[in-house]
Structure 1
């Protein structure tokens, strides 16, 4: 599993992904870790098949007792079916997840970990001196869905928004936007059900300072490619059964 530091200051953002050993019929995912002084947050920790390599990768940088928080953006198994195993490994941690999905996420075996329900309006996650904003992204594509914004690092973890399906060995960052578009088009048109929700999200995030837009699948957008993506997504009709 590839590890890339995407922000480094008084704390770190680390991206994990590009699993070369995954079966061909399993979607490749990006996992993100925010490491503060004595606390660590794992954003959408991945499917059950990723638990062992993901735990080993994180423990190379963080003692297990400092992994204090998990975040689940929505209910899909590709990004959170490992929760039952994390529950066993981190019994004192907190799981920040949509309030609407608690009854569903418990089916993954979340018996011990403390569930911190996120209301529809969003909220915050505090890690020592780091405050992360939980941004509503409802119906993109889940009916209760959230993204995580770091106003200091200017990073938006955007869940399935911005996702692209490509080979595990692909680069971590978008390098040629126009070519990358065709790796995103079908996914967004088929999986995003609501143009109204899309427009509401775009209006919300255009008010944020974003240097990096980091999706769950595919490559990270940075610099001018963030605006290019927002412009492209805004013009794209979604909710299309192709």
Structure 2
């Protein structure tokens, strides 16, 4: 992809990674991703904001082929998909000064072996003149590493947000426009990466709240030329508001847990409660994370394996605990052959979820009439709690 004009001063550069399907050896990328860098040319200084994943550095170097000088190379976030090519760019432009936050300096030295003398630290709120335009730096820690910051081009009202407001989406479109698919990709991105830091993101949203933003230029996905859309979505996602929705991640070995889940889904639907169920042997964990963004209740379904929960349920429950969704209620259902400690073990896996555990329904063998009646009572209890939302 060739450089693309954003404004008279700003060009998009970077790489569209159409074929990447896994991030951090964990996160599914069904739609690929992009690594966005931005070249700013002021009347006196030229600046490159972020770089690209090292695997795509040749693309960035080709885009920079006719740029004789870079005065400043800005690292908004030290993770390798944005900063991994910094050593290559610094070698290509030996007079460029690397600009980063206080905490980023140590990470860039440790992770990329950048020479300390090439680094200039900027403080929260500090400004950098490029001649006829100015960049203001705002610290936004934990979106999603501790050293992250954003940069605001005051004269053009452009917020360079790096991972903040990003979306893993490979597209030839430079701008998001009104495309709902971009917002869905952004929700997946928030769920998988940002959700654990919801309370801190609230504070960061306040820090940028007074800016007059006309464009949000993230480092993944298209540029938001109608930024109010993504800002409103984020305000909803980080709020305490939850939906009348139950998410049921589960697995079944011999059909017992499957039968209980099917019955509970039907029972909840009869009570006008939306349900999203995820059979974990084939689930896209990104879809599960998205469902948890605004769910009021999670019901974990598991058979018993050697007295504990199924290993896949164990793993996904631990992941849900790490993601820290704002669910308010939880329940555990499942089955066992002769004995079980699955409930106790699952409960011990979710200390980060500040939930009211409504009930547990564990049946021995295949569910009987009394087990289905217990599931109906659980559905009644969920309906009662959801009515208070």
TM-score (norm 1): 0.86
Say yes or no: does 1:58 pair with 2:60.
no
Question: Using CA pairs below 8 Å that are at least 6 residues apart, which structure has the higher relative contact order?
Answer: 1
Larger radius of gyration: 2
Contact 1:91 1:113 in 2 (8 A): no
Counterpart contact for 1:148–1:158, Cα < 8 Å = yes
The gaps in structure 1 that reach 5 residues or longer are: none
Q: Secondary structure at the match of 2:47?
A: strand
- Corresponding residue for 1:190? 192
Aligned to 2:384: none
Distance of aligned partners of 1:113 and 1:134 in 2 relative to their CA distance in 1, 3 Å threshold: same
Alpha-carbon distance between aligned partners in 1 of 2:21 and 2:229, rounded to the nearest angstrom: 30
Q: 73-82 or 84-93, which moves further after superposition?
A: 84-93
Distance in 2 (alpha carbons) for counterparts of 1:87 and 1:18: 19
Per-residue deviation at 1:56?
2.1
Paired residues for 1:230-241 under 5 Å: 230-237=231-238, 240=323
The Cα of 1:172 is off from its aligned counterpart by 1.0
Q: Indicate yes or no: 2:6 matched with 1:6.
A: yes
Cα distance in 1 for partners of 2:172, 2:43 equals 31
CA distance in 2, matches of 1:38, 1:22: 39
Change in Cα spacing, 1:189 to 1:23, as seen in structure 2 (3 Å) is closer
Q: Secondary structure, in 3 states, of the residue corresponding to 2:174?
A: coil
In the alignment, what sits opposite 1:83? 86
1:93, 1:131 → 2: CA distance? 18
Identify if the C-alpha distance between structure 1 residues 20 and 46 changes in structure 2 by more than 3 Å, giving closer, same or farther. Answer: closer
Counterpart of 1:16 in structure 2 is 13
Match of 1:111 in 2: 115
Identify if the C-alpha distance between structure 1 residues 84 and 176 changes in structure 2 by more than 3 Å, giving closer, same or farther. same
Describe the shift of the 1:25–1:189 C-alpha distance in structure 2 as closer, same or farther (beyond 3 A). closer
Q: 1:173 to 1:113 in 2, by over 3 A?
A: farther
Structure 2 residues not aligned, in runs of 5+: 24-32, 239-292, 294-321, 326-389
122-131 or 15-24, which moves further after superposition? 15-24
Mapped partners of 1:92, 1:22: distance in 2: 35
Q: Distance in 2 between matches of 1:202 and 1:112?
A: 31
Larger helix share, 1 or 2? 2
Q: What is the CA-CA distance between 1:210 and the residue it aligns to? A: 0.8
Structure 1 residue 170 corresponds to structure 2 residue 176: no
Q: In 1, are the aligned partners of 2:15 and 2:60 still within 8 Å (CA)?
A: no
The answer to whether the aligner puts 1:226 opposite 2:227 as a matched pair is yes
Question: How many residues are paired up?
Answer: 232
Change (3 A) 1:109 1:231: same
Deviation at 1:44, TM superposition (A): 0.6
For the Cα contact (< 8 Å) 1:140–1:160, is it kept in 2?
yes
Tell me the distance in 1 between the aligned counterparts of 2:155 and 2:102: 26
RMSD between superposed Cα atoms in Å = 2.3
Q: Deviations over 1:201-227 (max 9, x none)?
A: 2222221111100111111111xx211
Q: What's the CA shift for 1:232?
A: 0.8
**Deviation digits for residues 129-171 of structure 1 (CA, Å, limit 9, x no counterpart):** 321100121111111211110111110001112211122x431
Residue 160 of structure 1 is matched in structure 2 by: 163
